[in-house]
Structure 1
């Protein structure tokens, strides 16, 4: 169940007042191993970034998968590549597992693909002092490296023995294969065998400059509005016989959404609208054509939009309000709306916040400061298909700027910082 605002505030306060504890001797060794091999981690990042792995570059995605599969093989994991059916049109996923009987069963989530396709002019790798720019450096090959290096530090001190850890690196996070039921089936199955999920999308800093943890992410869904009017001479518009036309009705509905479907962390955006005598929308849903004349009342209109929410209860309230607005038609018009789900919500829960508390304590004990929760409404959809199934924490990855842009970069020191936090967190969760 998602946290109510007052409960969320109380738990945040409790987290911030938790007393610090010193690192155990084993944890001190883990930190030392991370620091001693930071350069190795950076080399692994450079190697992976220098392979283009745009979602639709299937060969490149598989090649990056091979790079990371080698690492998990060295760590004693059982690894396999999961191919997708040809109809899904995606490269597949890397799965690495180990079985034990000690502590929590953990699912660690990353992704191999980037938004930069094979013909992208963005440089692969360019180091500039304490930062590095390149394709997917912080979204999220940096996070993938943090997973590997944290596990490697645990292995070196013998702390991986008898643990149950599953690692899933998807090959299509930036553009999930369709149908979702197939492209995410293996991730969901892994979640059902686990107790806690940790995802390594980039760490986001708050306004004060502190690294944060992501205990909630909004769902990604869409809606399609279809509106009909009576075609006729424009001189008759607004009359009882001619009505208001499809464009006015579409405008009334969309503005009704703006005025009436408002609550915190809920957004809805009409991204494409076409209206006139005739309209046609391409199968992709991103392009279309409209035809009409100024002296002809619009016969049809279509609107394609986005809807993001934090919980299914919030979604249901929004759907009900939107349907009610759609039903209040202007004279001479009719309208219908349909909704389409994509990414589920990662609702902020007490369980998610409890994991963050453990993560924050690990960070504090290592001298890296507390980790406050990022306000859930500030982060969009991501690797959250497992969130409805188990307690989860995201945003454990690297720190950088310009994700998805030619300026995407990464703060090199954030790799070591996040690896230390992650390694201690994994150690404590698996004791």
Structure 2
């Protein structure tokens, strides 16, 4: 069967499953719902402790403190817990926790403990709540999802549920930089997984994530020649001026939208006010729905680099580690239907969408492992001082994750996509 025919067949199965759900509405699992309600106080208390620990990407000490907080929780569940050194310098350790069961499904959950915030952010803006929301650095992206996973495992233990072959929870430490410290580890874990459940936050009003843009950060580096800015500026070759020329050439890319976007995020030039800048650099963050879109950015920047406006300057383009896109695909669509049915059982409607925030689910997709994303609490304003989660989503999302595991343990998905 061709790839196009296989996708059409898979989508047809999704429609059949949806029709079956409509004919026989799902029911709430009273035991799981009650357990999720009872977990709320402890879940939020542990989240508060985690949020109040700084753990920005590259904060090795902060990452170790978060691990020290969470490791006893995982070990108390009977999990085999190990730390894995980061695969790049200057990053905190990663944690891999595993449970063995009696069923068929091998379930991999992935979350990250690193945030985008600097040391001191937690002291400046500690965890707090109002009537509707919880706030704090990393409360949604993604400590809320990590804590949710731990409490889902607590519920499974308390209910005596073991109908899965294996559950693995990876808590990694460098997702906010494209997971440079975890790529080999993720690849290894995916080889022993039937499905990947990602703990990134859900989007308002109550969405799971079925597609994500890929990300790539490109740096434009310019080498010029220094000179005294007052005595002999003509002897210099201004790297900053050339960088502005290069940035002007990149202005044609869109800055917002559901397709390709390219935005200037870092800009550096010069060392002293009285010296013609010898070095200048800019970082451009690109997000695209396809690899071809991202490649078009790199191609354009390299083409621009061949033409300089300031003589005797040299322009080079380099790229940081990045995530590929999580494309629309029938495997994720089928998982989304399962999730929607679970939510319907508690009288709630679960939506499905996508966004420009890249994640590890794209790596699962690339490896041919069915993946679904955005299973953490619903939130917003990520990467800002106003980051929050909706408190009303905490219990429903815990129920959703727990029930997904309970369904996938005895009945793991069979990948339909051909990539």
TM-score calculated relative to the size of structure 2: 0.77
Following superposition, the deviation at residue 164 of structure 1 comes to 0.9
Q: CA 1:287 to 1:332, structure 2 compared with 1: closer, same or farther past 3 Å?
A: closer
Q: CA 1:50 to 1:251, structure 2 compared with 1: closer, same or farther past 3 Å?
A: closer
Following superposition, the deviation at residue 155 of structure 1 comes to 1.9
Q: CA 1:301 to 1:97, structure 2 compared with 1: closer, same or farther past 3 Å?
A: closer
Deviates more, 1:403-412 or 1:315-324: 315-324
Q: CA 1:118 to 1:2, structure 2 compared with 1: closer, same or farther past 3 Å?
A: farther
Q: CA 1:122 to 1:302, structure 2 compared with 1: closer, same or farther past 3 Å?
A: closer
Answer yes or no: is 1:109 the counterpart of 2:103: no
Question: Residues 202 and 395 of structure 1 are in contact (CA less than 8 Å); yes or no, is this contact kept in structure 2?
Answer: yes
Flag structure 1 segments of 5+ consecutive residues without an equivalent: 230-244, 273-285
Post-superposition Cα deviations, 1:343-390, rounded to whole Å, max 9, x if no partner, equal 222322221222111111111123222x23213xx3222334444112
User: Bigger radius of gyration, 1 or 2?
Assistant: 1
Q: CA 1:313 to 1:195, structure 2 compared with 1: closer, same or farther past 3 Å?
A: farther
Following superposition, the deviation at residue 264 of structure 1 comes to 5.8
Question: Residues 381 and 387 of structure 2 are in contact (CA less than 8 Å); yes or no, is this contact kept in structure 1?
Answer: yes
1:246 and 1:102 mapped to 2: Cα distance?
62
Aligned counterpart for 1:133 among listed residues 125, 135, 138? 135
1:420 and 1:81 mapped to 2: Cα distance?
28
Q: Secondary structure of 2:211's partner?
A: coil
Q: Secondary structure of 2:209's partner?
A: coil
Q: Which residue of 1 aligns with 2:331?
A: 351
Q: Which residue of 2 aligns with 1:250?
A: 246
Following superposition, the deviation at residue 269 of structure 1 comes to 2.9
1:301 and 1:96 mapped to 2: Cα distance?
44
Q: CA 1:423 to 1:302, structure 2 compared with 1: closer, same or farther past 3 Å?
A: closer
Flag structure 2 segments of 5+ consecutive residues without an equivalent: 225-240, 411-419
Aligned counterpart for 1:265 among listed residues 241, 254, 259? 259
Post-superposition Cα deviations, 1:171-201, rounded to whole Å, max 9, x if no partner, equal 2333467xx2x53322221112111111111
Answer yes or no: is 1:388 the counterpart of 2:366: yes
Q: Secondary structure of 1:213's partner?
A: strand
2:346 and 2:4 mapped to 1: Cα distance?
29
Q: Which residue of 1 aligns with 2:218?
A: 223
Question: Residues 224 and 339 of structure 1 are in contact (CA less than 8 Å); yes or no, is this contact kept in structure 2?
Answer: yes
Q: CA 1:2 to 1:334, structure 2 compared with 1: closer, same or farther past 3 Å?
A: farther
1:145 and 1:251 mapped to 2: Cα distance?
42
Deviates more, 1:312-321 or 1:59-68: 312-321
Question: Residues 250 and 301 of structure 2 are in contact (CA less than 8 Å); yes or no, is this contact kept in structure 1?
Answer: no
Deviates more, 1:407-416 or 1:119-128: 119-128
Answer yes or no: is 1:397 the counterpart of 2:397: no
Following superposition, the deviation at residue 123 of structure 1 comes to 2.5
Q: Which residue of 1 aligns with 2:268?
A: 287
Following superposition, the deviation at residue 40 of structure 1 comes to 2.1
Q: Secondary structure of 2:389's partner?
A: strand
Q: CA RMSD in A?
A: 4.0
Following superposition, the deviation at residue 73 of structure 1 comes to 1.5
Deviates more, 1:34-43 or 1:415-424: 34-43
Question: Residues 77 and 97 of structure 1 are in contact (CA less than 8 Å); yes or no, is this contact kept in structure 2?
Answer: yes
Following superposition, the deviation at residue 203 of structure 1 comes to 0.7
Q: Which residue of 2 aligns with 1:379?
A: 356
Q: Aligned pairs, how many? A: 384
Q: Which residue of 2 aligns with 1:92?
A: 93
Aligned counterpart for 1:312 among listed residues 265, 277, 291? 291
1:57 and 1:331 mapped to 2: Cα distance?
39
Post-superposition Cα deviations, 1:19-50, rounded to whole Å, max 9, x if no partner, equal 2445568x332222212322222222223223
Q: Secondary structure of 1:355's partner?
A: helix
Post-superposition Cα deviations, 1:91-123, rounded to whole Å, max 9, x if no partner, equal 211110123452321110112222333322532
Following superposition, the deviation at residue 160 of structure 1 comes to 2.6
Answer yes or no: is 1:197 the counterpart of 2:196: yes
Q: Secondary structure of 1:342's partner?
A: coil
Q: Secondary structure of 1:395's partner?
A: coil
Answer yes or no: is 1:212 the counterpart of 2:190: no
Q: CA 1:224 to 1:65, structure 2 compared with 1: closer, same or farther past 3 Å?
A: closer
1:404 and 1:332 mapped to 2: Cα distance?
39
